[in-house]
Chain A
Amino acid sequence: MANYSTNEFKGGLKVMLDGDPCSIVENEFVKPGKGQAFNRVKLRNLMTGRVWERTFKSGESLEGADVMDLDMEYLYNDGEMWYFMKTDGSFEQYPVEKKALGDTEKWLKEQVVYTVTLWNDNAISVTPPNFIELEVVETDPGLKGDTAQGGSKPATLSSGAVVRVPLFINQGEVLKVDTRSGEYVSRA
């Protein structure tokens, strides 16, 4: 991989730091009136999701990280690994570990397309689409007529996620949910 110097650091650039692939979040150039210039850099560690703040001497460089975000369709879980397939017609499949799947596990639905982040061709994280449609598998019975306002209740969705829904929602209905906030949006 190419090396990137501090003045090439910009949001989204993938670099290696302390052995982990990172994505640059922010890069600020700082310099005293006379003297050495530095770059104050925020990086997201793509393995842990944590944000690091580091300072570099201006002109220093980091090795690029071979990181790619690919669209992949969720296939199945064999009890140990979760399998995703490229959508480019190659039918190439990638196994994903529980650790890499993280919170996305509760938003999994077969045939839905997710963003799988690969580092050196291994999946390190999976991001669900912003909105997903899922069936309610368990909730208290709906209250007829109460469609306008007030009150919510928990509902368990087919993927395992539990979200707050309005009182009028019934078991078996399909809902549109925002995966970023984990909030109910509407009936699908």
Chain B
Amino acid sequence: MSVPDWQPTASIETLRERARLLAEVRAFFAERGVLEVETPVLGHGGSTDPHLASLSAEATTPAGRERLWLQTSPEFAMKRLLAAGAGPIFQLARCFRDGEVGRRHNLEFTMLEWYRPGVTLDALIEETAALVRRVLGREPGDEAGPLRRRRYRELFREALAVDPFTAPLADLRRLAEEKGGLAMADALRDDCLDLLMSLVIEPQLGREGIDVVVDYPASQAALARRHRDPEDGAWVASRFELYLEGLELANGYDELTDAAEQAARFAEDNAARRAAGLPEVDVDARLLAALAHGMPEGSGVALGIDRLIQLALGQSSVAEVMAFATPRC
């Protein structure tokens, strides 16, 4: 209990293992001809996502005294590189999300993010699973072997006997209240779904292998395209999340490349922020300009490498695989 607080939160042995696994990640991409890039942590535009709180810093630059945002992911800068013709790229990027501290979260953390121009979302799912197996050091066929694609709608039907796309909002609110023990009387539809996903469905995912959740509600598309489900015709988001041992590891998109659609989603986000009483965030105008110039179609994924290392090393929190977690930074 009384470890002095100057001490690291990970053992030195764990940090050695971490370095070895990061070298493994770099080797994985080198073998596949994916270029490692580094983009700035600070940017003039921030993430507008209403569920992400950005940190910002005041800096003196040639433009004078200005506010720069600390990235919540390297997505915007990497997309500008794609538009400039970089081809397939990856990055191990330090990211910052205000308020996110816990067993699975740290205020600053390392994101492994990569983009594959011309590659389908389905092929990227396979590649993400291959990366996960490589870092875990386990081959397909054993416990981390089978890869199951799970449709969002089916997961809710199985676990909660409710259709997340068509159930009346009142039913979702009642279910969320029952499962979470909190008042959801004025909660938004997606907030109810997020609660049920986090508390009921997530813990069951990735228990017998890698589970990949696909076909999210269209309202949860973030920066992914939307498409009509060929089976039931419902609009869904073209994105996936990968789960192992109840932990969400990765979030991938069939990337939105349409500048006008992107600008509309930024505006929607800021409108949602205003409605929720949250500060608006400066839109990344340079990303919009890059998309207007033309970004190749393709897929991209962000993976929380600290969590994957945590699982690979059998630790119980991200703090145990970081030199100094937020409480000791």
The chain A residues found within 8 Å of chain B, CB to CB, are: 7, 27-38, 40, 52-59
Contact = CB atoms under 8 A, between A and B. Distances in A.
Contacts, number: 68
Contacts of B198: 30-32, 38
Contacts of B251: 33-34
Contact of B99 (A30, A32, A38, A58): A58
A38 B195 contact: yes
Interface in B138-191: 180-182, 190-191
Contacts of B99: 7, 37, 58-59
Contacts of A34: 49, 51, 220, 222, 251
B278 to A, nearest CB: 9
Contacts of B103: 28-29
A27 B105 CA distance: 13
B317 to A, nearest CB: 11
Contacts of A56: 182
B251 to A, nearest CB: 4
Q: Which of B101, B193, B198 has the most CB of A within 10 A?
A: B198
B199 interface: yes
B194 interface: yes
A30 B100 contact: no
B194 A35 contact: yes
Contacts of B193: 35
A32 B101 contact: no
A54 B193 CA distance: 17
Nearest to B223: A34
B101 A7 contact: yes
A32 B100 contact: no
B211 interface: no
A36 B101 contact: no
Interface of B: 49, 51, 99-105, 180-182, 190-191, 193-195, 197-199, 202, 220, 222, 241, 248, 251
Contacts of B101: 7, 29
B248 A33 contact: yes
Nearest to A52: B181
Nearest to A30: B198
Contacts of B222: 34
A55 B195 contact: yes
B220 A55 contact: no
Given A53-B181, A55-B195, A56-B182, A35 B220 contact: yes
B182 A36 contact: no
A53 to B, nearest CB: 6
Given A34-B251, A36-B190, A36-B194, A55 B100 contact: no
A30 B190 CA distance: 15
A35 B51 contact: yes
Contacts of A37: 51, 99-100
A-B pairs, top 5 by smallest CB distance, nearest first, are: A29-B102, A55-B180, A35-B194, A36-B194, A33-B251
Contacts of A55: 180-182, 195, 199
Contacts of A33: 241, 248, 251
A59 B53 CA distance: 11
Contacts of B102: 27-30
A28 B100 CA distance: 11
A154 B180 CA distance: 46
A150 B293 CA distance: 87
Q: Which of A30, A56, A58 has the most CB of B within 10 A?
A: A30
A50 to B, nearest CB: 14
A28 B101 CA distance: 9
B190 A54 contact: no
8 contacts: A31-B51, A31-B105, A32-B197, A35-B51, A35-B191, A37-B100, A54-B181, A55-B180
Given A29-B102, A54-B182, A57-B182, A36 B191 contact: yes
